[in-house]
Structure 1
Amino acid sequence: MASNIPPPVLFLFRSLHAEMNISLIVIGIQLFMCIYGQILFTESPDPLRRGRLPYIVVSWTIFLLFTLGQTINSHFVFNIVSGIVPLEEAKQDALMITGTVTVVAIQWVGDGLLLYRAYIIWSDKLWVLVLPLLTYLATIIIGILQLIPQVTKDPSGSPKFTSAWIYLSVAVNASITALISFRLLMARRYFSRVLPSGPQSTLDLKLYRGVVAILVESAMPLSFSGIVFAAVYDPKNVEQQIVKTTFLCLYFSFSALAPQMIIFRVTTGRSTSSLRHKASDSLESQSYGGPPESLAFAHTVGEHEPKLESRLQ
């Protein structure tokens, strides 16, 4: 039977099969993160749970949305590869539209989480967040608009809205990541001047770089795959369809994994709150027992210097 299928189409079917396998791996990674974070949250004392429950809820929400979307996608991939339903007809199915909604919802949740973190960090200078906030609101509006042509069975307007939505979402992710990283690096620069020299101080400063690194590392694959996916969203031939399928899988996977990585650091006590506590230990010669609390940042030290103290709840 396979010999009767044109090679480009056969390669497309294989790419769809590979997409399903990758999605199963991503589901497994997320399930581990969710369960492990839930166990740590359940076993932590009440004072250490403060501020972490919303992260647990968001983590499970992203996991459930991703799993639902991939379950629907698997159903249609099977029907398309088996020849039961033509590709264009499958795109207009109500169940397929539901799968598209899960992609949009995951993006909204992930970008919203990142924007909330930026709000906490820049709470003393909220004007910095005006442009990212407006861009985020634009992604919500465009995301809704790109669903309308599918609901009304008029796909002619969907590609341009979808490409615009992805570009805007990438802009939100990149800009907020840059703002958070800049603030953390400035805090690291400050503490490098005031912390006493020694192995513990060096470790504290390395942890700052680690937090910035995971922010950048989670944003770069998402941004790159999103840009390529948006560029080939309206394929003209089978080859472009293969590229679209590949980067759709990558973009959807990174859209879920990027916020999950951030949440995982918070729920396992390796977020920037640990940096604040360690820095406070060095500055005030105090000891904090147990795992660090949830993400925390501050506004000022004295009259001029910034420090991390306000609490993410």
Structure 2
Amino acid sequence: MSDSSQKPWSNNPNAPKIPYELYFGEKTTFAGILIGAISYGIVIVLFLQCMGALFDPVNRRSGGVRWGLVAYSVAMFSFVTIFTAMNLNVQSISFIDNREFPGVKDVLPPGPLGYQLEIYSNVLSIVPNLMFLFNNWLADGLLLYRCYVIYAKNIWVIAFPCLMYLASLAMGIMLIYQTSQPDSSIWNSIAINFGLPYFSISVSLNILLTLMIVTRLVLHSRKILNTMGAPAGAGGLYKAIVTMLIESSALYAVSSILFIGPWGANSHVADIFLPILAETQVIAPLLIIQRVANQSALTSNIVVSGPATSLNFRSRGKSTGASSTLPDGYSMDSVGRYGKGTDELGVGVESTIDFRRGEV
């Protein structure tokens, strides 16, 4: 075994005299801190935009202030703010105040990473971990609810995902209990690591719901195109893709996969993606809430499966008497949108189809 003090992995005389694996772990942790901080800036912008949309007088006319969405958004933003602040505090204490942590032979490595493992069961680490889990549950819950809405409130469609969600809750509670014990963390090789089943179930649930929503939206888009008999242009394709990515929380699913892969392989690369996952599991729901607040999100009334029969073209409040083909009870306004009532949140129904260009 080579002597780490010789720095065989670097020709830089100023490089730290530590094994390369530890050196690589510190670099990935540092990169994760920076990317996570940038992502938190995106969270702030989206949160403010959501609040602006939810309290917008124009949007409020369709059903008043949706306090449930306001509370949900504030809760997620509060949790991620606490997570980000305390995580940065842990990194500061580790890399600055305890830079020369000696480690514990055959148990903990020296330096900042070893110190982080030393305090993993401390309140400094437990609180941000709790905030991460709370937001993870909230994000999965919203995605589950969106799937329920998009599938026209068919409870049997989401029966299995609901069981997975309950299993995720149970494993999350066990994980917090386990990591709160002395000398325990999600990075330790212990007999029963609840981190593996928790993240596996959470990521699997995320991917399953994402695929279910995307499938439903693709079928819905094709149905509308076939009904109208008009091909989708480049702009229509762009709108359809954006709608699917946002409505299905694809960003959240991708971030989960990017984290679980390296983490399952016990690679330090996971240190880059964990802070990103913590932020994207808030970014994705805020994007959906923003669409709901602006009355552009798909609802249980929009995604229907009945046969197309008639369409009433009308200006605002007036019927022109013209007709075409759309599901029963749907009508199009003067700007080329169609709708039918409101959804369960009091949001006016609106599609992403533009009849003037035949785009979805």
TM-score for the superposition, normalised by structure 1: 0.78
| More divergent stretch after superposition (109-118 vs 124-133) | 124-133
Q: For the Cα contact (< 8 Å) 1:149–1:158, is it kept in 2?
A: no
Structure 1 residue aligned with 2:68: 54
AA in 2 matched with 1:37: C
Q: For the Cα contact (< 8 Å) 1:33–1:260, is it kept in 2?
A: yes
Q: Which of 94, 107, 130 in structure 2 is aligned with 1:101?
A: 130
Q: 1:170 to 1:227 in 2, by over 3 A?
A: same
Q: Tell me, which stretches of 5 or more residues in structure 2 are unaligned?
A: 1-12, 102-114, 318-326, 330-338, 346-360
Whole-Å Cα distance in 1 between the matches of residues 273 and 88 of structure 2?
17
Whole-Å Cα distance in 1 between the matches of residues 235 and 66 of structure 2?
25
AA in 2 matched with 1:153: P
Shift, 1:209, TM fit: 4.2
Structure 2 residue aligned with 1:245: 271
Structure 1 residue aligned with 2:95: 81
Shift, 1:251, TM fit: 2.3
Shift, 1:81, TM fit: 1.3
Tell me if 1:260 matches 2:260: no
AA in 1 matched with 2:228: L
Structure 2 residue aligned with 1:166: 199
* TM-align CA RMSD: 3.4
AA in 1 matched with 2:179: Q
- How do 1:164-313 residues align onto structure 2 when only pairs under 5 Å count? 164-195=197-228, 197=230, 207-214=239-246, 215=248, 217-232=250-265, 235=266, 240=267, 242-272=268-298, 276=302, 283-287=311-315, 301=328, 311-313=343-345
Q: For the Cα contact (< 8 Å) 2:260–2:270, is it kept in 1?
A: no
| More divergent stretch after superposition (114-123 vs 168-177) | 114-123
Q: Deviations over 1:37-89 (max 9, x none)?
A: 21222222332355744333322322221111111111111121125262222
Query: Which structure has more helix as a fraction of its residues?
Result: 1
Q: 1:99 to 1:208 in 2, by over 3 A?
A: same
Q: Which of 23, 29, 34 in structure 2 is aligned with 1:21?
A: 34
Q: Deviations over 1:285-309 (max 9, x none)?
A: 13459xxxxxxxxxx849xxxx986
Between the aligned residues of both structures, percent identity stands at 22
Shift, 1:111, TM fit: 0.4
Whole-Å Cα distance in 2 between the matches of residues 76 and 132 of structure 1?
35
Q: 1:174 to 1:310 in 2, by over 3 A?
A: farther
AA in 1 matched with 2:245: A
Structure 2 residue aligned with 1:292: none
Structure ranking higher on relative contact order (CA contacts 8 Å, 6+ apart): 1
Shift, 1:174, TM fit: 1.2
Whole-Å Cα distance in 2 between the matches of residues 121 and 161 of structure 1?
32
Q: 1:158 to 1:30 in 2, by over 3 A?
A: farther
